[in-house]
């Protein structure tokens, strides 16, 4: 793959690649290995009313372990937390247990009501500056990113 033109590299100070992964019906089930390459953070999302989307998180994690860098930041997110308890298929405790098993952070959110979207704890991600040094002239920068993309 050819490098982007010098002008394109100068249009930004930092390039951050975050992935949002989870079941989406039958669409996008297979993701090429290139999709994971260079990812700095991955949000693994399941629907709390759909147990199969939760069960597939292990498959997504296996893909991440095979194709992403070892130190990629991961957060497990159970979405639709606003739903009535009678519709819930995955208890909060089950989501927390899975996150604990993999040593990753866990949140339940609601895109509809904005529950926990702003409260998601920031993650530290070390990123390298683009060629040319960037604004600060340091070789790397620590940034705080909010994992709020739901």
Residue 86 lies in a domain: yes
- Of 3 and 148, which is predicted with more confidence? 3
Domain of residue 96, CATH code? 3.40.50.300
- pLDDT (mean) for 48-71: 92
Mean pLDDT value across residues 34-60: 92
Q: For residues 68 and 139, give the distance between their C-alpha atoms in angstroms, rounded to a whole number.
A: 22
Whole-number Cα distances in Å, 25 to 3, 22, 50, 132 = 35, 10, 11, 42
How confident is the prediction for the chain on average, in pLDDT?
75
Residue 108, domain extent: 15-23+31-120
**C-alpha–C-alpha distance, residues 128 and 131, integer Å:** 9
Predicted pLDDT of residue 38: 85
The pLDDT, as a whole number, for residue 148 is 32
- How many domains does the chain contain in total? 1
Does 140 map to a domain?
no
Q: Look at residue 75 and tell me whether its pLDDT is greater than 50.
A: yes
Instruction: Name the residue among 146, 125, 148, 147 with its Cα closest to residue 14.
Output: 125
Report the pLDDT averaged over residues 94-108.
Answer: 96
Does the residue 99 lie in any domain? yes
pTM as predicted: 0.71
Q: 39 or 57: which carries more pLDDT confidence?
A: 57
Within a domain: residue 149?
no
Judge whether 116 lies within some domain: yes
Question: Has residue 132 been placed in a domain?
Answer: no
Does 143 map to a domain?
A: no
Are the C-beta atoms of 129 and 140 separated by less than 8 Å?
yes
pLDDT at residue 81 greater than cutoff 80: yes
Q: Is there a domain that residue 42 lies in?
A: yes
Residues 84-119: b if buried by 16+ CB within 10 A, e if exposed? eeeeeebeeeebeebbeeeeeebbbbbeeeebbbee
């Amino acid at each position: 793959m050819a490098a982007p033109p010098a002008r394109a590299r100068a249009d930004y100070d930092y390039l951050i690649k975050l992935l949002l992964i989870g079941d989406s019906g039958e669409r996008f089930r297979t993701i090429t290995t290139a999709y994971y390459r260079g990812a700095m953070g991955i949000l693994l999302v399941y629907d709390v009313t759909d147990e199969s989307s939760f069960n597939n998180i292990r498959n997504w994690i296996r893909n991440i372990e095979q194709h992403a860098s070892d130190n990629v930041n991961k957060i497990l997110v159970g979405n639709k937390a606003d739903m009535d308890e009678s519709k819930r298929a995955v208890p909060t405790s089950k989501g927390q247990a899975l996150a604990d098993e993999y040593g990753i952070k866990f949140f339940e959110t609601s895109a509809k009501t904005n529950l926990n979207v702003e409260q998601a704890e920031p993650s530290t991600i070390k990123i390298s500056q683009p060629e040319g040094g960037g604004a600060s002239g340091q070789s790397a920068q620590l940034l705080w990113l909010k994992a709020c993309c739901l």
